[in-house]
């Protein structure tokens, strides 16, 4: 089942699943749009919201796995994962939200008891960066510092991504320090990073890998960064002044309405022509460092490819007796990302 199938990313995932010859059940709370998608594709549809356990249980009946695409996940993951635990359904999602990853990880023992997989982060955040972290950690064992950075060139963020970012507006960022997730100002670090095909100014942001790369590699100090305009980075120095305003409910409501009215895309040509680049650097206490770079399709296109790719691996993972929490790289290994269409390591810069 693809839940949230009518969302921007949900639709990309449905198209990719059909391209791969899969026949998912399409689900979501939006009756009109889900039924219309069913008519267009000939796929089975189910319409249900996430408000009560009864409706989620009824909606999930008979499913082997759900790929949850309805975010912000901080509002949606709990009812879905709890139903998965009750019904013995494998849970996958496309979240990159730290609080959600943390919440799912805490359910590891319950998931093992129920015999289900908890496999979040099946999209751009965190598949390539998780593979990058694991590859670097295996190349330089004993390392204690990891930097992961990304840029999505020639594209933009979707409605749902911005809505998810708004749930944390005005909150501090985070870094992993000595194994603990510690609040740090967004943009505390800013530096130019050489992605191989481009150099970009990047600043630190709280990204899902602060949780997943930690569970995949055990590296105790992790910073995650994204490309940004230098003026945005400079502006963020004033965040202590404007964060209280950003946290005001009336201001958040106004921004949510603005995003609902004005944010759409990426467009078909941005999906086609955009390109994501990932950079990773690991450091050993003895001074050795190692870097790696990935060249990838546009990040929403990649999310569809990686999510469907992981669903296709569920049979193998079940045969291996896997259950409980796993990250994409801990399930599939660090090289899995480059087995996917349009993904490659950049060998030299």
Ligand X SMILES: NC(=O)c1ccc[n+]([C@@H]2O[C@H](COP(=O)([O-])OP(=O)(O)OC[C@H]3O[C@@H](n4cnc5c(N)ncnc54)[C@H](OP(=O)(O)O)[C@@H]3O)[C@@H](O)[C@H]2O)c1
Comparing CB distances to ligand X, the nearer of 38 and 160 is 160
CB contact at 8 A, 340 and 51: no
The token pair at 216 is: 């995949």
Q: How far apart are CA 70 and CA 77, in angstroms?
A: 8
Query: What are the b/e assignments for 53-74, b being 16+ CB within 10 Å?
Result: eebbbebbeebebbbbbbbbbb
Comparing CB distances to ligand X, the nearer of 10 and 187 is 10
Comparing CB distances to ligand X, the nearer of 261 and 319 is 261
Q: How far apart are CA 192 and CA 44, in angstroms?
A: 48
The token pair at 151 is: 């840029």
CB contact at 8 A, 13 and 69: yes
Comparing CB distances to ligand X, the nearer of 92 and 136 is 92
CB 163, min distance to ligand X, A: 6
Comparing CB distances to ligand X, the nearer of 69 and 343 is 69
CB 177, min distance to ligand X, A: 23
CB 29, min distance to ligand X, A: 4
Residues that bind ligand X (CB under 6 A): 4, 6-10, 28-30, 49-50, 69-73, 75-76, 94-96, 123-125, 158-161, 163-164, 300, 303
Comparing CB distances to ligand X, the nearer of 256 and 338 is 256
CB 306, min distance to ligand X, A: 8
Comparing CB distances to ligand X, the nearer of 18 and 140 is 18
Please give the full DSSP string across 20-81, using - where no structure is assigned.
TT--PPEEES-HHHHHHHHHHH---EEE--SSSHHHHHHHHTT-SEEEE--S-HHHHHHHHH
Q: How far apart are CA 96 and CA 210, in angstroms?
A: 10
CB 284, min distance to ligand X, A: 29
CB contact at 8 A, 28 and 34: yes
Q: Among 39, 57, 38, 40, which Cα is nearest to 48's?
A: 57
CB 13, min distance to ligand X, A: 9
DSSP 115: T
CB 145, min distance to ligand X, A: 24
């Amino acid at each position: 089942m693809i839940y949230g199938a009518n969302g921007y990313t949900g639709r990309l995932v449905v198209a990719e699943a059909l391209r791969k010859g899969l026949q998912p059940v399409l689900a979501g709370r939006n009756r009109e749009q889900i039924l219309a998608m069913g008519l267009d594709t000939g796929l089975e549809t189910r319409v249900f919201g996430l408000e009560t356990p009864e409706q989620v249980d009824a909606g999930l009946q008979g499913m082997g796995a759900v790929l949850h695409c309805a975010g912000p996940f901080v509002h949606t993951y709990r009812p879905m994962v709890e139903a998965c635990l009750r019904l013995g359904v494998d849970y996958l999602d496309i979240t990159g939200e730290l609080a959600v990853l943390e919440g799912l990880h805490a359910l590891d023992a319950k998931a093992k008891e129920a015999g289900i997989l908890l496999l979040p982060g099946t999209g751009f955040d965190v598949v390539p960066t998780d593979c990058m972290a694991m590859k670097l950690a295996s190349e330089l064992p004993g390392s204690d510092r990891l930097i992961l950075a990304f840029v999505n060139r020639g594209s933009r963020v979707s409605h749902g991504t911005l809505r998810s970012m708004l749930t944390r507006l005005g909150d501090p960022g985070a870094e992993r320090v000595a194994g603990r997730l510690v609040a740090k100002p967004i943009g505390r670090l800013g530096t130019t990073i050489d992605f191989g095909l481009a150099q970009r100014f990047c600043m630190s942001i709280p990204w899902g890998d602060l949780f997943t790369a930690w569970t995949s590699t055990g590296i105790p100090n992790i910073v995650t960064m994204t490309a940004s305009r230098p003026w945005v980075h400079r502006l963020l120095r004033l965040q202590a002044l404007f964060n209280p305003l950003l946290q005001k409910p009336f201001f958040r409501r106004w921004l949510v309405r603005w995003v609902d009215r004005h944010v759409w895309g990426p467009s078909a040509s941005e999906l086609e022509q955009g390109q994501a680049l990932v950079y990773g650097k690991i450091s050993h206490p003895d001074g050795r460092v190692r870097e790696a770079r990935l060249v990838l399709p546009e990040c929403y296109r990649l999310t569809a490819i990686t999510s469907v790719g992981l669903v296709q691996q569920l049979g193998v993972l079940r045969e291996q007796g896997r259950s409980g929490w796993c990250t994409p790289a801990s399930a599939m290994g660090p090289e899995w990302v480059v087995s996917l269409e349009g993904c490659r390591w950049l060998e030299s810069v």
